[in-house]
Copies of this chain bind each other. A is one copy, B any other.
Amino acid sequence: MQPKTIGVGMLGYAFMGKAHTNAYKKLPYIYYPPPAIPVLQGICGRNPKAVREAAERFGYRYGTTDWKRLIDDPQIELFDNNGPNNVHQDPCIAALEAGKHTLVEKPLAMDVSQARKMAAVAKEAAKQGIQSMVAFSNRFCPAVLLARRLIQEGKIGPIYHFRAAFLQDWLVDPNFPRAWRLQKEIAGSGVLGDLNAHSIDMARFLTGLEITEVCGVTQTFVAERPLPLEASGLSGKAGEKKGAVSVDDASLGMLRFNNGALGSIEASRFATGRKSLWQIEVYGRRGAVQFELTQNNLLQYFSLDDPLELQGFRTIPVTEADVHDFIKHWWPPGHMLGWEHHHCHAIFHLVNCIANKLTIAPWGATFEDGLKVQLVLDALQRSEKERGWVKVEQ
């Protein structure tokens, strides 16, 4: 019997486009037998030469600079949107309305208004069996998969504290050029939407709680930077001219959850020495979990159920076959997964849900989840304007 296939159309060909494409290409032989075999149909980007090269490199049937061509292509059943935040809304809505399953990079949208529209369209599409997911791929990190399971099983107990820090340092040099991520009209916000969005989603995903109130502040440490000589990517060289940085370099927030728990989140691109450290801690009545993204195979777990003199944070290598369905497909115990595998897991989950008509939640982030995150981001922005605590819209 011939296995099912699923035609994929990709918007974006840089960092995330490469990570997602890699996942589609590995799916058929890693998760075996695969729920469906992805067929790479079309890829879209703004630079004609670059998109042509990407098509050839990754094996897409064609490249295009017009995302509507992907929407119009009947062979594309799954639309994967890795474009900058300002091209999330329209292509995703078009795709969903055209009956295409849709995956979109985080954050879902530029603002709440967009996110609401997108979630509504997704909800409508779902009635026709059209699936949609936001690529909060860190949910599929091995450590996170186990952390959530422990919390859901009650091993951590009622939660008191959620703590997250997402620290990078790529903007410490004031001559680093003003990449697209530093322009509000393209990125929507700075680390708020780029990094704290991850922490907010993780808070909800792990704890199952909702954030009800927030108080936040942001800072732009370097207000003006050299314009990059080339348009795309984050690594362009600096030119002579300067341009304004219109997003936040750092973002702090205090959170209150619906069970009374406290949360704190912090994100920065000025944390010198941290390439991409993302540390999460959850403390509850019976135990605690902690992990860090660059140690993605390791979960720290503490349990008050242990005898007193044996209590301590244990470092669990989450590479055992039976910890989670996403992991057993890889290698024998002790062989570590890398960052790319989170995306492989996420895309396997999506394709599996599509092929077998399973529900994206709770492992995958729905557009509704994306909206929830956007509501918290929005509350953090309102909070800053009002210089105080604000309620999160529900």
Q: Is the pair A272, B276 in contact by a Cβ cutoff of 8 Å?
A: no
Is B339 touching A335 in the complex (CB atoms < 8 A)? yes
Q: How far is the CB of A116 from chain B (nearest CB, A)?
A: 27
User: A234, B59: Cβ atoms under 8 Å?
Assistant: no
Q: How far is the CB of A75 from chain B (nearest CB, A)?
A: 21
Q: Does A374 contact B (CB under 8 A)?
A: no
Decide if B310 touches A316 in the complex (CB within 8 Å): yes
Q: Is the CB of A287 within 8 A of B315?
A: no
Does the CB pair A262–B275 fall under 8 Å?
Answer: no
Which residue of B is nearest A172, CB measured?
Answer: B285
If A314-B315, A315-B313, A387-B388 touch, whether A332 touches B234 (CB-CB below 8 Å) is: yes
Q: A314 to B317: give the CA distance in the assembly, Å.
A: 12
Do B288 and A273 touch across chains, with their CB atoms under 8 A apart?
A: yes
A286 CB within 8 Å of chain B:
yes
Task: Please choose the segment from A22-30, A101-109, A118-126, A238-246 that sits at the chain B interface, where 4 or more of its residues have CB less than 8 A away.
Answer: A22-30
Per-residue contact bits, chain A 253-265, to B (CB 8 Å; 1 contact, 0 not): 0101000101010
Within 8 A of B (CB), among A155-170: 156, 160-161, 163, 165, 167-170
A306 — nearest CB in chain B belongs to which residue?
B314
Contact (Cβ within 8 A) A262 B272: no
Given the interface contacts A160-B250, A273-B302, does A340 sit within 8 Å of B331 by beta carbon?
yes
Interface residues in A139-183 by Cβ distance below 8 A to B read: 146, 156, 160-161, 163, 165, 167-170, 172
| Interface membership of A349, Cβ < 8 A | no
Contacting chain B: which of A63-71, A213-221, A355-363?
A213-221
For the side of the interface on A, what is the size category?
35 or more
- Judge whether B264 and A264 touch: CB under 8 Å: yes
Within 8 A of B (CB), among A295-319: 295-299, 301-302, 304, 306, 308-317, 319
Q: Does any Cβ of B come within 8 Å of A99's Cβ?
A: no
- CB proximity of A144 to chain B, nearest CB, Å: 14
Chain B residue contacts of A388, Cβ below 8 A: 215, 386-389
Residues of A whose CB lies within 8 Å of any CB of B are 15, 18-19, 21-22, 25-26, 28-30, 32-33, 57-59, 146, 156, 160-161, 163, 165, 167-170, 172, 215, 217, 219, 221, 234-235, 250, 252, 254, 256, 260, 262, 264, 266, 268, 270-277, 281, 283-288, 293-299, 301-302, 304, 306, 308-317, 319-320, 322-323, 330-341, 386-389
- Shortest 10 CB-CB distances between A and B: which pairs? A388-B388, A276-B334, A275-B334, A338-B338, A273-B302, A314-B314, A312-B316, A312-B314, A335-B339, A160-B270
